[in-house]
Structure 1
Amino acid sequence: MEVKYVTLDDVRRMLDSLSKEEKESLLAEQMKKLSAESRAQVLGLSESGLTIITGSFISLNSDVTVNIQNASGFEPEALLNALVQFRKSERESK
């Protein structure tokens, strides 16, 4: 009986062979399974001081609150980048 095992490099090669759409689908599915803390760490937000709560009303921290309603052109990445830059500038000014 032969025992097969998959290494981390094997997984990377398999992921690299997927199309963009397949990667996005797989990553979205896996991200949903992570805790909020793990998602923040994966997205690079763990050191940002931001807390994200899903829903129509999002309180990011004591300085910033964002309320988004029916925004078809909303770009979350742009918002998060702006908030990270805001946080960095706040730290540098202290």
Structure 2
Amino acid sequence: MSLYGNVDSQVFQNIAATPAAFALKGGCFGVTVHADTWGGGSVDLKRQAADGTTFISVLSAPFTADAYQVVNIPPGTYQLAVATATGVDADVTSVFSTTG
């Protein structure tokens, strides 16, 4: 059976600082990041830990250049952590197969 119409996505445009935390339903997600200026900085997708305050990276490595990564994550509260990079455009979007 195919799944249609249940895209979970967060989009960020022209940011230079860590935005507010957001909820994701969990599953397979594609993360795309572009920055006008990296300047030795990074962008990381982090999940809120059980203590309710700490955020822990879920990526294999933070972005330090324009790139795309796929990550499997559980439902929870997430944050796109931006350090030094400016003019950041990013999206975190669920990915699922359109075949049975």
Q: Which has a greater percent of strand?
A: 2
Note whether the superposition's TM-score is higher than 0.5.
no
Greater RCO (Cα-Cα under 8 Å, separation 6 or more) = 2
In the superposition, the TM-score normalised over structure 2's length comes to: 0.23
Q: Which has a greater percent of helix?
A: 1
Q: Which of structures 1 and 2 has the bigger CA Rg?
A: 1
In the superposition, the TM-score normalised over structure 1's length comes to: 0.24
